[in-house]
Amino acid sequence: MAELSIDRFVDLYAARTAGMSASEVRALFAVASRPDVVSLAGGMPNVQALPSEDVLAAVSNAMDEYGVTTLQYGGGQGHVALRQRLVGLMAEEGVGADPDDVVVTTGAQQALDLLGKIFIDPGDLIAVEAPAYVGALTAFGAYQPRYLQIDLDDDGMIVEQLEEALVQGARPKFVYTVPNFGNPAGVTMSATRRERLAALCRGASIPIIEDNPYGMLRFEGQSLSCLRAMAPDNVIYVGTVSKVFSPGVRVGWALAEQSVVQRLVLAKEAADLCSSSFNMLVTERYLSGERWRRNLETLIDAYRSGRDSMLEALAEHFPPESTWTRPAGGFFVWVTLPRWVDTQTMLAAAVERRVAYVPGTAFYPEGRGTNQMRLAFCFPTVDRIREGVGRSCPTKPSSTGHCTHEGRGAGRRTQPRARRLAPIRTPGATGACPARP
């Protein structure tokens, strides 16, 4: 065990590091990776499903095609061959782009960090969804913003709330959204809301950061237009290959106007000079053939089965006053439990029962969401998901008469429709969140 020691530098750290402290949830992630624990916590893609021969072929093709370039530094914007490939990927989601407007980053996460770096001064207001992707709160939080939190419902961000805030004089530097099968809520912004958001922000000259890691993981229904396609000059699109190929290669990107691109490249070069040439060019080769599409179909089928199994298990095990979202793609279900449940306090006991999830408080800057949780269906097998959901059912206080975690067979019931997912926005200080997807 590490010895406790006094930090000699305690007075020297920059003020922004105060927003970087880890919550106790981080410690539980180590436990969650134990083989006997069903992890419904991390959003880890099912990379076991990728045929290793396809990956090896991409490595070998990259060496054949690009030679020592794969082993060399590259430019800060990323290899043009990859940028062209990413333009093709975005075209499949209806987004037109020029490779010159793409900056390759070390995962989408770095794009978020760099965007925070170039847009946020301490005290600036930024608009985020409530609940929001924890990694975005972590990335932006380091630049000490204030938050305008816009609630979500089953149709995604409640754009009327943003509109009202703007009428009252709020001027966020940008609006951050994950419109497709969002992390953590799993909901998708409706077409009407997209149009309204795009027009509102365009009119007010407030850029939108559209983070779209899950857009290609649709289980059912029609794809909706990306915000970037609706207002190309006002939307910064963030993409990643983490969910369609591998998070291990750490390849993401931002698509933006030239003025933003130039600043991003400068910020990127300051951070890490360039992304890994090897990983970029292997990714380019992986995406060059047709096999990756078959692999993606396999992944989508597996995630759909995971989602179905999770929804069935929730209906079977969870207390009747609970609500949860029904994602049409992606990785996550967002559960709102009765008021008597504190998902953070409950977590230690859940881990003892060999299941882990992420408590709702991690997804709000100021720690709302005590009776909420995010459950990920992307990684465990369907049987493990069923088991895990059963074990993560809250233990009732003696007076309520609701299910206990042993209460399997409590009876199936119709899944309630989730209404608003969170209470009214309250700008607040940076929270302490685990930097995990």
Ligand X SMILES: Cc1ncc(COP(=O)(O)O)c(C=O)c1O
Rounded CA separation 217/212 (Å): 10
CA angle 202, 267, 211 (to 5 degrees): 45
Using an 8 Å Cβ cutoff, are 44 and 244 in contact? no
Residue bearing tokens 């690009």: 66
| Closer residue to ligand X in complex, CB, 250/402 | 250
Nearest distance from residue 412's CB to ligand X, in Å? 30
| Closer residue to ligand X in complex, CB, 249/347 | 249
Q: Is 370 helix (H, G, I), strand (E, B) or coil?
A: coil
CB atoms inside a 10 Å sphere around CB 333: 26
| Closer residue to ligand X in complex, CB, 303/318 | 303
Judged by CB under 6 A, does residue 283 bind ligand X? no
Using an 8 Å Cβ cutoff, are 133 and 109 in contact? no
111-140 binders of ligand X (CB under 6 A): 133, 135
Binding mask 77-116 for ligand X (x = CB under 6 A): ------------------------------xxx-------
Nearest distance from residue 437's CB to ligand X, in Å? 3
Considering only residues 81, 102, 178, 208, which one is a binding residue for ligand X as defined by CB under 6 A? 178
Nearest distance from residue 212's CB to ligand X, in Å? 8
| Closer residue to ligand X in complex, CB, 119/318 | 119
Nearest distance from residue 407's CB to ligand X, in Å? 32
Rounded CA separation 160/364 (Å): 20
Nearest distance from residue 366's CB to ligand X, in Å? 20
With contacts defined by CB under 6 A, name the span among 33-41, 195-203, 239-247, 254-262 that binds ligand X.
Answer: 239-247
Nearest distance from residue 211's CB to ligand X, in Å? 5
Considering only residues 19, 43, 141, 365, which one is a binding residue for ligand X as defined by CB under 6 A? 43
Nearest distance from residue 245's CB to ligand X, in Å? 10
| Closer residue to ligand X in complex, CB, 247/319 | 247
Considering only residues 70, 188, 240, 392, which one is a binding residue for ligand X as defined by CB under 6 A? 240
Give the burial class of 58: count Cβ atoms within 10 A of its Cβ; 0-12 exposed, 13-18 middle, 19 or more buried: buried
Question: Which residues are CB-neighbours of 134 under 8 A, at least 6 positions away?
Answer: 184, 358, 362, 363, 433, 434, 435, 436, 437
Nearest distance from residue 69's CB to ligand X, in Å? 23
| Closer residue to ligand X in complex, CB, 109/161 | 109
Nearest distance from residue 208's CB to ligand X, in Å? 14
Handedness of CA 296, 301, 306, 310 (dihedral sign): positive
| Closer residue to ligand X in complex, CB, 109/371 | 109
| Closer residue to ligand X in complex, CB, 104/315 | 104
Residue 244 phi/psi, 5-degree rounding, is -105, -15
Calculate the alpha carbon distances from 7 to 4, 11, 73, 206 in Å.
Answer: 9, 9, 37, 42
| Closer residue to ligand X in complex, CB, 328/403 | 328
Considering only residues 113, 211, 316, 387, which one is a binding residue for ligand X as defined by CB under 6 A? 211
Binding mask 242-261 for ligand X (x = CB under 6 A): x----x----x---------
Question: Which residues are CB-neighbours of 427 under 8 A, at least 6 positions away?
Answer: 125, 146, 147, 148, 149
| Closer residue to ligand X in complex, CB, 390/437 | 437
Interface size with ligand X, residues (CB under 6 A): 15
Rounded CA separation 289/135 (Å): 32
Rounded CA separation 158/172 (Å): 16
Using an 8 Å Cβ cutoff, are 293 and 50 in contact? no
Question: Which residues are CB-neighbours of 235 under 8 A, at least 6 positions away?
Answer: 198, 201, 207, 208, 209, 210, 226, 227, 228
Nearest distance from residue 209's CB to ligand X, in Å? 10
| Closer residue to ligand X in complex, CB, 99/135 | 135
DSSP state of 328: S
Judged by CB under 6 A, does residue 213 bind ligand X? yes
Considering only residues 138, 161, 183, 344, which one is a binding residue for ligand X as defined by CB under 6 A? 183
Nearest distance from residue 41's CB to ligand X, in Å? 12
Cα–Cα nearest to 141, from 170, 177, 113? 113
Using an 8 Å Cβ cutoff, are 319 and 172 in contact? no
406-425 binders of ligand X (CB under 6 A): none
**Residue ranges that bind ligand X, judged by CB under 6 A:** 43, 107-109, 133, 135, 178, 183, 211, 213, 240, 242, 247, 252, 437
